Amino acid sequence: ELDEARLASLGIPIAQIANRLSQENINLAGGTIKEGEAEYLVRILNEFQNVEEIGEIVVGQKANVPIILTDVADVTKSHKERKVSTRVNGKESIEIAIYKEAGSNTVSVAQGVKGKLGEVQENVSGVSGDVNMEVVFDQSTFIEQSVNEVLNTAIMGGVLAVLVLFLFLRNSSTVIIGFSIPISVIATFFFLFIFDVSLNIMSLGGLALGIGMLVDNSIVVLESIDRYRKERLSAAEAAEKGGSEVGQAVVAATMTTLCVFVPIVFVEGIAGQLFRDLALTVTFSLISALLVAVTLIPMLSSRLRSEVDKERDEMAS
């Protein structure tokens, strides 16, 4: 509380008091310091710790005598002037906004906060009586809904891909390729875990985009194996020759697609942050599909069709 008469007699304007307070209470970024490979952020911390420090600020000078704030004002600890009133359901309330740190997961932070709300409410109720805590806005709800929608789209895409294969192939190839989709997806999740890529809208969108391409290599390999089967080769021989014949072509086709998505990983700035997860997911899904097509598909084809041949021989005999 300023003594305006005292300030007028000393010739100290109120603006000068405000400037001195802002100059002494500082919390600013001071740049960075590099030491080898390490880079440290520097902050200038000169904030008030108690009321006494505020009262000892020099706000002026008269006849070479410093004038401190307590000479022209009463400095006491009090409440901040109220400028905003918050109401929830017509009742006066206190609004608390919680922000996540940079790089942290919004959904995980929201779940952690919700898990602590009950404990906080008990502690506050024990001091201030009956207190009711409600979540007014939760950004993680929208994120979870978006992620679930993209995930459902990816699952629906996989199911539709199997149905289309069944309509055109109508044989055991549909079962074999149907196995390749979930195995490739599981392998993709493994790579995402290794490279610390979280499940978000962009990564799941990349997975949904990649599911349609997961079966391409498998179809090519199976068709090559089926051609040798029609030439009366055994299931094992057809799987070996058919898989090795188109192996290089399948690898080359996959690499040409990867050449489109891999450079996106190295893009800097906002675009790189947005599309990095999508590019990595598509890359991992195509690599997984390639490995499944050249290894698992020939093995499943030889085993499954050899069993079919045995059943036919038994029926014929």
Q: What is the pLDDT of residue 72?
A: 82
Q: What is the pLDDT of residue 126?
A: 67
In the block, residue with structure tokens 């679930």: 148
Identify whether residues 105 and 144 lie together within a single domain: no
The angle at the Cα of 226, spanning 254 to 170, to the nearest 5 degrees, equals: 95
Identify whether residues 219 and 184 lie together within a single domain: yes
Q: CA 86, CA 135: separation in Å to the nearest integer?
A: 14
pLDDT in tens, 36-53: 777 787 877 777 788 888
- DSSP output for 87-139: EETTEEE------PPTTS-HHHHHHHHHHHHHHHHHHHHHHHSS--------H
65's enclosing H/E stretch is: strand 65-68
Is 114 domain-assigned?
yes
Is 314 domain-assigned?
no
Q: What is the pLDDT of residue 127?
A: 65
> Are 283 and 262 contacting, i.e. CB atoms less than 8 angstroms apart?
yes
Identify whether residues 132 and 147 lie together within a single domain: no
Q: CA 177, CA 165: separation in Å to the nearest integer?
A: 8
Q: What is the mean pLDDT of residues 167-185?
A: 77
Identify whether residues 291 and 163 lie together within a single domain: yes
pLDDT in tens, 61-71: 887 888 888 88
Q: What is the pLDDT of residue 313?
A: 47
Q: What is the pLDDT of residue 260?
A: 87
pLDDT in tens, 100-149: 876 677 888 888 888 888 788 777 776 666 777 888 888 888 878 877 88
Identify whether residues 10 and 51 lie together within a single domain: yes
Token pair of 294 as six digits: 């050249």
Identify whether residues 152 and 243 lie together within a single domain: yes
- The number of folded domains in the chain is 3
Torsion of CA 102, 105, 111, 115, to 10 degrees: -50
Identify whether residues 3 and 72 lie together within a single domain: yes
Range among 78-87, 169-178, 263-272, 281-290 with highest mean pLDDT value: 281-290
Q: What is the pLDDT of residue 46?
A: 74
Structural domain span for residue 271 = 140-306
Examine the pLDDT at 316 and tell me if it is beyond 60: no
Token pair of 250 as six digits: 């399948």
Q: What is the mean pLDDT of residues 9-35?
A: 80
In the block, residue with structure tokens 């989709």: 181
Q: What percentage of the chain exceeds 90 in pLDDT? A: 1
Burial class, 294, CB count within 10 angstroms (exposed 0-12 / middle 13-18 / buried 19+): buried
Is 83 domain-assigned?
no
Identify whether residues 296 and 270 lie together within a single domain: yes
Q: What is the mean pLDDT of residues 207-235?
A: 81
Q: What is the CATH number of the domain that holds 20?
A: 3.30.2090.10
